[in-house]
Structure 1
Amino acid sequence: MKRIGKRSFTLLLLACMMIVSSACGSNGSPKVAETAAAADSGTAKDPVKVVWWHSMSGDLGKVADKLISDFNAAHPDIQVEGVFQGTYDESLNKLKASLGSDSGPAMIQVYEIGSRFMMDTKAIKPVQDFIDAEQYDISSLEPNIKNYYTFDDKLYSMPFNSSNPILYYNKDAFKAAGLDPENPPKTYEEVAAAAKKLTKDGITGASFAIYGWFMEQFFANQGAELLNNGNGRSSLSTASQVNSKAGVETLEWWKGMLNDKSLLNLGRKTDDTKIAFAAGQVAMTLDSTASLRGIVSASEGKFEVGTAFLPKPSNGGKGGVIIGGASLWLLGNKSEAEQKGAWEFMKYLAEPKTQAYWHVNTGYFPVTTKAYDEPIVKENLEKYPQFQTAVDQLHQTEPNLATQGAVMGVFPEARQITETAIEEVLNGQKSPQEALDKAAAEITSKIEIYNKTVK
Structure 2
Amino acid sequence: MKKLVIGFMCAIALAGLVGCGNKAKSGGDKKDDFALVDDFSGTEIVFWHAMSGSNGEALDKIVKDYNETVGKEHGVKVSTVFQDTEIASKVKLASSTNDTKNAPDIIQTVGMDLPSISTLPQIVPAQTFFDDKKSELKTEAYYDQLLRAFTYEDKIIGVPMNVSTLLLYYNEDLLKKAGFDHAPKTIDELAKYTEKLGKMDGVNGLNTQIMRYQLVNFIVSQFPESFVGDNEGGRKAPMTKLIMGEDGTLDKFLTEWQKVIDSGGYKHIEDNANEEFATGINAMALLSSSRLGAIKTLTTGKFTFQTAFLPKVSESDTSGASVGGSSLVLYNRDDNKKLSAAWDFISYATSPEVQAEWSQATGYIPVNVATEELPEMQKFYEENPQFKTALEQLKTSDPLSQEPFDLVNWEINDIVADAMQKFAEGKLTKEETAKEIVDKSNKALDEYHKANG
Asked if these proteins are the same fold (TM beyond 0.5), I'd say: yes
1:430 to 400, 415, 428: 428
Offset at residue 260 of structure 1 (A) = 3.7
Offset at residue 361 of structure 1 (A) = 1.1
| Structure 2 residue 198 is the aligned partner of structure 1 residue 196 | no
Aligned residues with identical type, % of pairs:
29
TM-score under structure 2 normalisation?
0.83
Q: Is the 8 A contact 2:114 2:152 kept in 1?
A: no
Aligned counterparts, 1:292-371, within 5 A: 292-314=292-314, 316-371=316-371
**Are the structure 2 counterparts of residues 243 and 59 from structure 1 closer, same or farther at C-alpha, using a change threshold of 3 Å?**
same
Larger radius of gyration: 1
1:352 & 1:46 partners in 2: Cα distance?
24
In the alignment, what sits opposite 1:62? 57
| Structure 1 residues 146-201: Cα deviation after superposition (integer angstroms, max 9, x where no partner) | 11112344211111001001101111111111122xx2110010000111111122
Q: Is the 8 A contact 1:209 1:273 kept in 2?
A: no
2:264 to 261, 283, 286: 261
Q: Which runs of 5+ in 1 are unaligned?
A: 1-43
Aligned counterparts, 1:28-427, within 5 A: 47-74=42-69, 75-76=71-72, 77-86=75-84, 88=85, 90-101=86-97, 102=99, 103-133=102-132, 134-135=134-135, 136-180=137-181, 183-199=182-198, 200-223=200-223, 224-244=226-246, 245-267=248-270, 272-314=272-314, 316-400=316-400, 403-427=401-425
TM-score under structure 1 normalisation?
0.83
Q: Is the 8 A contact 1:111 1:326 kept in 2?
A: yes
Offset at residue 370 of structure 1 (A) = 0.4
**Are the structure 2 counterparts of residues 204 and 408 from structure 1 closer, same or farther at C-alpha, using a change threshold of 3 Å?**
closer
1:333 & 1:434 partners in 2: Cα distance?
50
1:45 & 1:127 partners in 2: Cα distance?
18
SS at match of 1:120: coil
**Are the structure 2 counterparts of residues 45 and 368 from structure 1 closer, same or farther at C-alpha, using a change threshold of 3 Å?**
closer
Q: Is the 8 A contact 1:330 1:339 kept in 2?
A: yes
SS at match of 2:303: coil
SS at match of 1:319: coil
| Structure 1 residues 236-260: Cα deviation after superposition (integer angstroms, max 9, x where no partner) | 3211134353223434444443344
| Structure 1 residues 308-352: Cα deviation after superposition (integer angstroms, max 9, x where no partner) | 110122255321111111101112344222222211111111111
In the alignment, what sits opposite 2:26? none
SS at match of 2:240: coil
2:308 & 2:315 partners in 1: Cα distance?
19
Q: Which moved more, 1:221-230 or 1:252-261?
A: 252-261
1:152 & 1:236 partners in 2: Cα distance?
9
**Are the structure 2 counterparts of residues 161 and 170 from structure 1 closer, same or farther at C-alpha, using a change threshold of 3 Å?**
same
**Are the structure 2 counterparts of residues 288 and 449 from structure 1 closer, same or farther at C-alpha, using a change threshold of 3 Å?**
same
2:349 & 2:437 partners in 1: Cα distance?
39
2:89 & 2:349 partners in 1: Cα distance?
25
1:226 & 1:260 partners in 2: Cα distance?
27
**Are the structure 2 counterparts of residues 100 and 152 from structure 1 closer, same or farther at C-alpha, using a change threshold of 3 Å?**
closer
Computed over aligned residues only, the root mean square deviation of the Cα atoms, in angstroms, reads 2.2
Offset at residue 71 of structure 1 (A) = 1.3
2:323 & 2:374 partners in 1: Cα distance?
22
Residue identity in the other structure for 2:54: D
Offset at residue 425 of structure 1 (A) = 1.7
Residue identity in the other structure for 1:107: I
Residue identity in the other structure for 2:93: A
Offset at residue 120 of structure 1 (A) = 3.3
Greater helix share, 1 or 2? 1
Q: Which runs of 5+ in 2 are unaligned?
A: 1-38
In the alignment, what sits opposite 1:33? none
Q: Is the 8 A contact 1:205 1:262 kept in 2?
A: yes
2:314 & 2:436 partners in 1: Cα distance?
27
**Are the structure 2 counterparts of residues 305 and 45 from structure 1 closer, same or farther at C-alpha, using a change threshold of 3 Å?**
closer
Offset at residue 301 of structure 1 (A) = 2.4
1:64 & 1:371 partners in 2: Cα distance?
17
Q: How many residues align?
A: 403
Offset at residue 453 of structure 1 (A) = 5.0
In the alignment, what sits opposite 2:4? none
1:96 & 1:45 partners in 2: Cα distance?
27
Offset at residue 47 of structure 1 (A) = 2.6
